[in-house]
Amino acid sequence: MEPWLVVVLITLASIVFGTGLVLLIQFIYVKALENRSIRSIGWVKHAFRFIVYVIGKIRAGKTTFMAGCLAAFTEKYMHDAHTKIDFCCLAFPTVNFSLADDTIENDFGRGLIDSEVTAAKLMRDVFSNCNNLYYDNQLNPKPIAFRRILVDYIDASWALMRNNYVAYAGRAYHSPITDNDAMPYDPRMWDIRDIAEQQHYVQEANKNLHALLEKLKNMDEKSKEKKALKATVEKLQRYKDTDEQSDWHLFYYCAYAQDEKQLDARTDAVRSMAENLEDHGNTVSKRLIGQLTKEHAILFCTAQQFGADNNRERALATEIPMIEKSEVVDPYFLPRFLIACYEFYWKHQRKRLQRRAEKAALKTGIDPNLVFTLKEQSKIRDHLSKSMIWKKYWHAKSFVHYTGKLYYSPDDVGKSRNSLVSGYNDIDVLFPIKWAFGSTDTFLFNAVNVKMNATSRYRLRDEDFREPATHNSTDSLTDEVLMRNSDRLKAEKK
């Protein structure tokens, strides 16, 4: 065999062997990250219970970490709902639960949220022969009636029909699990006492409305009392439309989320003292969230400064994860290398043509920045666009790694380990990047700037950015520095 042929074969064999080795290393690395991600998701499902405050510095990764947790709890609640239905069926193996599905689906289509009403209807029309059925779990002193199990079956069925397990402020979350946008979230939905008082007034208004209308018919048109009575009737009629639907809607199998909680006026640090003097029932409902939802709901909040929040709200936190660092882990180094090699040629071609265009532009007096750009269609732009799409494809398969500390007591946040009451655990969590960056808008509050720009009267002027600065430009700055404490000094002289 010719020496040159041996060299070629050895070279080809080395390339094939090297490529295969790199592919094997990449495969093992990706599988290791996937397994680590699965363990992280399982840890999140068990580590967080009822009220979770995610804290950390600006851009530390609080929002994306919370988004990953919401995806994890979506999986958890889907599994829990299926498990609950299986339990109900196994608890009463002789009952055909499929007979209830049409009624449950019809009530869901009507928007009903009271499973007790649907259960009463089913006990009357479908399961009338099940009133004497009971389930003995070997723990309760008394067996559990079939109707209570039926209520759980209805709640789990509605959760699966809803196929939406997240309520997010501004609905700015898209679930990578269900492919649905989140349900709306309003911090005032926790004000159980305000809502109960309002609903009591609605009920009382409806009771009195009919009697007042009858009294109104028999009164003299010129009577002063009739005018006052008309105003009362009009007020009661406004409440009548809301009587059939309650403002309270704490769903089962749902994770509630609020980004940058301290921007909520109800818990703003400036208002916290006044807020502590009021009682809307917000803290009561959060304190009882586990019992109210049979441990099938959780609340996530993000905040930059945990200590600045409302004291009563802060004290309810069951877990406080402090995110210290987040970074993207991209294990697909071989595709990255091949894409970089592909890009190198076309980027070189772009630079070569750009230098040629700049030389020609200088001769003709044209601005060289306007001569050669990617604005117009070209072969270079097409190939660079393809490489960008390939990079995005492999990037979307990567992971996000979060590190930090998980505190269990609000009084422990930020303290040294020796002075902690409940201690802390280290956070070492790996999420698929689609769960974090792909599911939520990390610039949600940019909408505030957009709205302010739309209503602003300011217009950019040439002297703001084009004309050279003058002495007058610094006058206001000088006055601010020199006169900042003048009022305080005058007061001290007096």
pLDDT digits (tens, 9 = 90+) for 172-192: 888 889 888 888 887 777 766
User: Cα(167)–Cα(247) distance, rounded to whole angstroms?
Assistant: 15
Identify the helix (H) or strand (E) that includes residue 95.
Answer: none
Mean pLDDT value across residues 382-386: 83
Q: Which residues pair with 299 in a beta bridge?
A: 51, 256
Instruction: Give the pLDDT score at 77.
Output: 93
pTM, two decimal places: 0.76
Q: Give the pairing of strands 320-329 and 399-407.
A: antiparallel
User: Cα(246)–Cα(277) distance, rounded to whole angstroms?
Assistant: 27
- Answer for the pair 424, 407: CB distance below 8 angstroms, yes or no: yes
Q: Which residues pair with 482 in a beta bridge?
A: none
Q: Is the pLDDT of residue 168 over 90?
A: no
DSSP code for 469: P
Instruction: Give the pLDDT score at 16.
Output: 77
Reference 327, options 425, 398, 424; nearest CA is: 398
User: Cα(144)–Cα(231) distance, rounded to whole angstroms?
Assistant: 50
- Answer for the pair 350, 414: CB distance below 8 angstroms, yes or no: no
The residue with greater pLDDT, 420 or 103, is: 103
Sheet arrangement for strand 51-55:
183-184, 166-168, 254-258, 297-303, 51-55, 320-329, 399-407, 424-432
Q: How far apart are the first and last CA of the chain?
A: 107
Q: Is the pLDDT of residue 268 over 70?
A: no
pLDDT band at 277 (very low <50, low <70, confident <90, very high): very low
Tokens 């068990």 sit on residue: 46
User: Cα(341)–Cα(343) distance, rounded to whole angstroms?
Assistant: 5
The residue with greater pLDDT, 279 or 163, is: 163
Reference 254, options 344, 182, 336, 354; nearest CA is: 182
Q: Is the pLDDT of residue 59 over 50?
A: yes
Query: Between the ranges 80-89, 261-270, 358-367, 390-399, where is the mean pLDDT highest?
Result: 80-89
Report how many helices (DSSP H) and strands (DSSP E) the chain contains, helices first: 18, 10
**Residue 209 structure tokens:** 């409305």
Instruction: Give the pLDDT score at 245.
Output: 43
What's the mean per-residue pLDDT of the chain? Answer: 77
Tokens 């196994």 sit on residue: 90
What's CA 322's distance to the chain center, in Å?
17
The residue with greater pLDDT, 487 or 389, is: 389
Q: What is the DSSP string of 296-310?
A: -EEEEEEES-GGGS-
Instruction: Give the pLDDT score at 157.
Output: 92
Reference 346, options 388, 384, 389; nearest CA is: 384
Q: Is the pLDDT of residue 269 over 70?
A: no
Q: Which residues pair with 134 in a beta bridge?
A: 145
Tokens 């520095």 sit on residue: 481
Mean pLDDT value across residues 423-430: 85
User: Cα(366)–Cα(51) distance, rounded to whole angstroms?
Assistant: 62
- Answer for the pair 278, 184: CB distance below 8 angstroms, yes or no: no
Tokens 């789990």 sit on residue: 156
Mean pLDDT value across residues 378-383: 80
Q: Is the pLDDT of residue 481 over 90?
A: no
Instruction: Give the pLDDT score at 184.
Output: 84
Instruction: Give the pLDDT score at 39.
Output: 92
Instruction: Give the pLDDT score at 484.
Output: 64
**Residue 266 structure tokens:** 């109800």
**Phi-psi region for residue 303, left (φ > 0), alpha (ψ -120 to 50) or beta?**
beta
Contacts 24+ apart (CB under 8 A), 25-29: 26/331, 26/332, 26/333, 26/334, 29/331
* Range in 83-92, 221-230, 320-329 the model is least confident about: 221-230
* Range in 109-113, 393-397, 441-445, 479-483 the model is least confident about: 441-445
